[in-house]
Amino acid sequence: MTFKNFFLATACATSTLFAATVFQNQVGFLTGGLKQIAVLDAAGKDVVFKDSAGTEVLSVKAPEAQPWEPAGKSASLVDFSELNTPGTYTIFVNGEEAGHPVVVSDNAYEGVTKGSLKFFYFQRASTALEEEYAGIYARAAGHPDTAVRYHASTGHTTSVDSTFNGSKGWYDAGDYGKYVVNSGITTYTLLQLYQQNKAYFDTLNLNIPESKNEIPDILDEIRWNLDWMLSMQDADGGVFHKLTTKQFAGMVMPEKATAARFAIGKGIEASWNFAAVLALAADIYTPFDKDFANTCAKAAVKARWWAYTHPTAIYEQPKDVGTGSYTDAIGWTLKLWGNAELFRITGDKVFTDSIHTLKINRKKATLQSWSNSLMLEAFTIATNPEIFEAADVDSAKAMIFTLADNYIASLENNGFGVAMTNNDFYWGSNSIAANKGMVLIHAYILTKEDKYLQAAIGLVDYMLGRNPLDKSYLTGYGVNPVMSPHHRISQADGIEAPVPGMLSGGPNASANDAGTCRQDYAKGKPPAEAYYDNSCSFASNEVAINWNAPFAYVVGSIQAILATGKAYDMSSKSKATYTDLESIPAKKTIFKPVSARNRLVVKGNSLRLEMTGMDGTKKYYDLRGKKLR
């Protein structure tokens, strides 16, 4: 080491030794919202904010450091909410400059709201992206999906030449598949974002090809996927599980991924999910396009009827298919959700028995995900007190508060101010943060208590940089954003920066891809650091529509609530309008209890495993797995 290098190394070491480390939202803080940063080694020190002219505007004494287990370290949570003048500020800790610029603005979340919604445009299948809307990310059309084949698992026995048009829709994630169950929760989340914040989203311009029409851009974008979802309904009402190739494509642009695409499976998960989403869509699109709304309502009823009469049609991944399986969605939660959404638009009592079971199930409140929709039903029921019965509304609210209050409790003595615990860091952990935010915003809508909105802001801050990796998990936003997501387009387009507005899956303590990456990035790390910003890392750095949607929901709702000063007015909605839909079966007409896919049964004096296939046929195995006749 030369003398000069030695001197530089010492100087750097000295500055890291004394300059405090700040973890903060790198994008911006809303003027009227909670403002916090997490600072290491700062207890008792002055944290000063200076404006762009170098004038001190606020000084806060850093409180005692508190641990946050997932980060494996303690930090002082510094609250500077008093700083309520829009501007850009610099942080000084104990006299030394630290952290990143602090932006305070009335529209601090507008960029990330638009960006995270624009992601859906970038994910559009079956269309070219024009430069006018996509800028440098313009690309050729891929996956026309105008001649989709039927995999045998759909129950179609027609020749391989028989096809259907399954075009449009959004690519699910880093891959090019289109999966009904996952696109369903995504679409529901975005529809709720619109429904609950109409005044804000009616005019929000996303610069998409439909921006000039009379329909709010967010609804035009959602329509792209609804059109595809409708195409996935078979003539008998059942809904295909997914539309993908048999195996994942290579890391190529959409137009180069030309392997044959198939409708795969037809089951209750996709059908119930479809029923719920299309019923909600029917209500929301009524003022804009009555015919389309009618189509959605009829399709929803038909899908529900099919699911109701095929209770054993549980999706199983066929042996020759390797794309995302989205199996094991919890069917009964989908069923309750579907019935609730259908009741909301029809008022038909045929749906109420299922809805009333909420009372029994309220203790099972579990964060919403593609595989568990119980909370989606709770959101709908709790925010529609004029439509649902009081006892059901109470159950739904109780479920929301059980979860929300639990998140609030986790903030006690939490040095990062983030309502996430060690157990939350699995595949798609950032969607756990975003979905928790969605629960908290519902708790806020129901009570107008600030603590819920503030806890949601804490989760946004986490995703945008207040984490031990100092990482903004939204591509294209923040000082230190994700650069190498597992996303075929971003890998293949020859542009260094990834497509913007994508939420990375985030830290995953299980590092399920350690083999592929040849790097166990979780080893020896606290859960919130088990992350690898490398495109190999599909289990910590992929992007997905069902992760972006709750992120958009949370930032969009908070921006809209603080900008308009109003949260969703639950009394202002139209009542059920569809009373003339055909084929809503009376409950007594048919009822088959849902049987489990696999169960143990007794035959003679031995136990055997009974497996029920998609078509209801049963196979039997002994306990060693040997097939029995």
By CB under 6 A, tell whether 283 contacts ligand 9MR.
no
Nearer to ligand 9MR, 220 or 542 (CB): 542
Q: In this chain, which stretch among 44-52, 218-226, 537-545, 614-622 interacts with ligand 9MR, using CB under 6 A? A: 537-545
| Minimum CB distance to ligand 9MR, residue 428 (Å) | 5
By CB under 6 A, tell whether 37 contacts ligand 9MR.
no
How far separated are the first and last CA of the chain, in Å rounded?
A: 77
DSSP state of 544: B
Nearer to ligand 9MR, 126 or 183 (CB): 183
Nearer to ligand 9MR, 172 or 269 (CB): 172
Q: Which residues are within 8 A (CB) of 360 and not within 5 positions of it... i.e. 6 or more apart?
A: none
| Minimum CB distance to ligand 9MR, residue 179 (Å) | 7
| Minimum CB distance to ligand 9MR, residue 37 (Å) | 31
Binding mask 378-417 for ligand 9MR (x = CB under 6 A): ----------------------------------------
| Minimum CB distance to ligand 9MR, residue 273 (Å) | 15
| Minimum CB distance to ligand 9MR, residue 503 (Å) | 11
H, E, C per residue of 545-581: HHHHHHHHHHHHHHHHHHHHCCCCCCCCCCCCCCCCC
Are residues 381 and 432 in contact, defined by beta-carbon separation less than 8 angstroms?
no
Nearer to ligand 9MR, 49 or 370 (CB): 370
| Minimum CB distance to ligand 9MR, residue 323 (Å) | 7
Tokens of 343: 């009741």
DSSP state of 350: G
Number of residues that bind ligand 9MR (CB under 6 A): 10
Q: How far is CA 299 from CA 218, 275, 305, 355, in A?
A: 22, 7, 10, 20
Ordered alpha helix ranges (H), 410-538: 429-447, 450-463, 488-492, 514-517
| Minimum CB distance to ligand 9MR, residue 117 (Å) | 19
The C-alpha atoms of residue 221 and residue 216 are separated, in whole angstroms, by: 9
Q: Which of 267, 428, 481, 501 binds ligand 9MR (CB under 6 A)?
A: 428
Residue type, 382: A
CB atoms within 10 A of CB 579: 10
By CB under 6 A, tell whether 324 contacts ligand 9MR.
yes
Nearer to ligand 9MR, 331 or 428 (CB): 428
The C-alpha atoms of residue 293 and residue 285 are separated, in whole angstroms, by: 5
Taking alpha carbons only, the member of 257, 217, 213, 239 closest to residue 125 is: 257
Nearer to ligand 9MR, 262 or 306 (CB): 262
Nearer to ligand 9MR, 172 or 283 (CB): 172
Name residue, tokens 């960029």.
Answer: 111
Tokens of 177: 């598949």
At how many degrees (to 10) do helices 268-285 and 331-346 cross? 30
Rounded to 5 degrees, φ, ψ at 434 are -65, -40
| Minimum CB distance to ligand 9MR, residue 418 (Å) | 21
Torsion of CA 315, 319, 324, 330, to 10 degrees: 30
Binding mask 155-174 for ligand 9MR (x = CB under 6 A): -----------------xx-
CB atoms within 10 A of CB 412: 7
At how many degrees (to 10) do helices 110-122 and 545-564 cross? 150
Residue nearest ligand 9MR, Cβ-based: 324
Q: In what order do the strands lie in the sheet with 22-23?
A: 22-23, 36-39, 73-79, 66-68
Per CB under 6 A, which of residues 538..577 are in contact with ligand 9MR? 538, 542, 544
Q: Which of 109, 176, 308, 427 binds ligand 9MR (CB under 6 A)?
A: 427
Per CB under 6 A, which of residues 458..477 are in contact with ligand 9MR? none
Q: Strand, helix or coil at 99?
A: strand
Nearer to ligand 9MR, 297 or 434 (CB): 434
Q: In this chain, which stretch among 229-237, 335-343, 357-365, 536-544 interacts with ligand 9MR, using CB under 6 A? A: 536-544
CA 146-150-153 angle, 5° bins: 150
Binding mask 172-201 for ligand 9MR (x = CB under 6 A): xx-x-x------------------------
Catalytic machinery residues:
175, 486, 533, 542
Q: How far is CA 357 from CA 352, 353, 361, in A?
A: 9, 7, 6
| Helix and strand numbers, DSSP H then E, in the chain | 18, 18
Q: Which residues are within 8 A (CB) of 467 and not within 5 positions of it... i.e. 6 or more apart?
A: 23, 71, 416, 418, 473, 528
| Minimum CB distance to ligand 9MR, residue 369 (Å) | 7
Nearer to ligand 9MR, 377 or 513 (CB): 513
Nearer to ligand 9MR, 123 or 286 (CB): 123
Rounded to 5 degrees, φ, ψ at 57 are -110, -20
| Minimum CB distance to ligand 9MR, residue 386 (Å) | 35
| Minimum CB distance to ligand 9MR, residue 538 (Å) | 6
Residue 629: burial class (beta carbons within 10 Å; 0-12, 13-18, 19+): exposed
Nearer to ligand 9MR, 362 or 487 (CB): 487
Site of interaction with ligand 9MR (CB under 6 A)? 172-173, 175, 177, 324, 427-428, 538, 542, 544
